[in-house]
Amino acid sequence: MQTLLSLVSLFFLATGCQFAGSSSQPLVDTIQPKDSITKDTIPSIPVIQVPKPYSNLVFEKQVLLQAAKGTKSVIFNSSGTKLYAMNLEGMSVYEFDQATRKISREFKFKPTKGTGWDYAINKPIASFQEKPVEACFSHNDEILWVSLHNAGGIVPIWVNNFSKNTAGTGSQKTKPVTVIYPGTGKQDSFHVPLITTGKTPKVISKTADSKYVLVSNWHSYNTSVLETDTAVFPFAKIISTVPVSDIPRGIAVDDKNQKSYIAIMGGSSLSVVDNNTWKSESTLKVASSPRHVIMDTSGRLFVSYNSLATIACIDAASGKTLFKTGTHAQPRTIVLSKNYKFIFATCYSSDFVDVYKINNDSFEKVASLPCKGHPVGVDVFENDEKLEAWVCSYSTGSISIYSFKKK
């Protein structure tokens, strides 16, 4: 009983959208019915169903799925039944069914001209606005928030109730979306609001109660904080813009201590934000080029350092590095297993996925798995018997599913 109570209490440290995967049996039971979500009835904190304990992972096999051009990130819903892939170059979002591993729906954006960015030469280029980068679920997986690389903002998509995807009124910008059901000839269409945040929006995160959504704006050198209101179109508004010292990317939200940590990828720091005032509180000095930052249930931060080929565990209070390890070149997205004992890192230019067991004071390598096509995004599915790491590769537009047996 004590173990159960401890594990349940750990949920309150959950870091927004960082742990979106789940098991074949839902890890969460939502309290309120789907149609009752409004600003005044923010969804209750889910009740966690504790998975079967395990202490080791053994790699079994890899399965390759085809996605779309330039798949940039992936995220599971809370139940683990659906995985959503952000296809930057394909200008769409694919919904995969976890059990069948097939595409069940495609959310296709209509392209309009825009200005993009060539990261190799660091210059603007002609492109299209509707290029999905990252995503985050809120309100019990009812709303999928998607950042559009060249549109200067994010869009909320009601994935289960299309009637809420309305054009609205007034001067609010919108984006048309067509939903394609592969193999059926059926289509749906609607408009979603484009909520302007900043230039080149990247990572989206949220508070555990879904009341606030945070967006890191790469070329604006700031992070937008939005207050959600599911009863009123466009469902969120900016209440604060937090300036940072250089290019921001990853965001970890600490609900227990009411702080958020923003990885300053263009520098060597984490910006600490007070979640009560939504203002910058302090700066933690870390190593160079922190890209992704996530948090476990003990309050420790985990950071991937893109240019240093390193991941590290950091004390959130002081910024002190507790332990670290080398990875293959250019570690990008990192994700924790549901028991917070394992970490997965996609290593972009080296075409590897590195897996480590997290000990009290060290990382212990479990596997280094080849992954062609520049792996960039990863999320995990778990049930009592197995763990699957779903990894998207940017240049091949594919998803590799790495299956592990739990022991």
Per-residue pLDDT of the chain (407 residues; tens, 9 = 90+): 444 444 444 444 444 564 433 333 333 333 333 333 444 445 545 554 556 899 999 999 999 999 998 999 999 999 999 999 999 999 999 999 999 999 999 999 999 999 999 988 889 999 999 999 999 999 999 999 999 999 999 999 999 999 999 866 678 999 999 999 999 999 999 999 999 999 999 999 999 999 999 999 999 999 999 999 999 999 999 999 999 999 999 999 999 999 999 999 999 999 999 999 999 999 999 999 999 999 999 999 999 999 999 999 999 999 999 999 999 999 999 999 999 999 999 999 999 999 999 999 999 999 999 999 999 999 999 999 999 999 999 999 999 999 999 99
pLDDT at 17: 61
pTM for the predicted model, two decimal places: 0.89
pLDDT at 9: 42
Q: Is the previous residue joined to 43 through a cis bond, with omega within 30 degrees of 0? A: no
- Provide the domain count of the chain: 1
- Burial (CB < 10 A; 0-12, 13-18, 19+), residue 143, is buried
pLDDT at 122: 87
CB count within 10 Å of CB 258 equals: 14
User: Max Cα separation, the chain?
Assistant: 59
According to DSSP, the residues that pair with 236 across neighbouring strands are 228
- Alpha-carbon gap, residue 57 to 184, rounded angstroms: 39
- Alpha-carbon gap, residue 367 to 404, rounded angstroms: 10
According to DSSP, the residues that pair with 97 across neighbouring strands are 82, 102
Is 39 among the domain residues? yes
Is 195 among the domain residues? yes
- Burial (CB < 10 A; 0-12, 13-18, 19+), residue 27, is buried
- Burial (CB < 10 A; 0-12, 13-18, 19+), residue 322, is middle
pLDDT at 251: 98
The domain that contains 304 carries what CATH number? 2.130.10.10
Residue of 69, 70, 100 whose CA lies nearest to 83: 100
- Alpha-carbon gap, residue 84 to 3, rounded angstroms: 33
Is 4 among the domain residues? no
Strand pairing of 300-305 and 352-358?
unpaired
Is 216 among the domain residues? yes
Are 388 and 380 a contacting pair, CB within 8 Å? yes
Coil/strand/helix, residue 151: coil
Identity of the residue numbered 229: D
Is 59 among the domain residues? yes
pLDDT at 24: 34
Give the list of residues 6+ apart from residue 376 with CB closer than 8 angstroms, or none: 71, 72, 73, 332, 333, 346, 348, 392, 393, 394
pLDDT at 6: 44
Is 9 among the domain residues? no
pLDDT at 229: 97
pLDDT at 106: 98
Residue 343: domain span = 15-406
pLDDT at 289: 98
pLDDT at 166: 80
pLDDT at 4: 42
- Alpha-carbon gap, residue 327 to 302, rounded angstroms: 14
> In this structure, what are the phi and psi dihedrals at residue 163, rounded to the nearest 5 degrees?
-65, -20
- Alpha-carbon gap, residue 138 to 213, rounded angstroms: 9
Is 147 among the domain residues? yes
Is 137 among the domain residues? yes
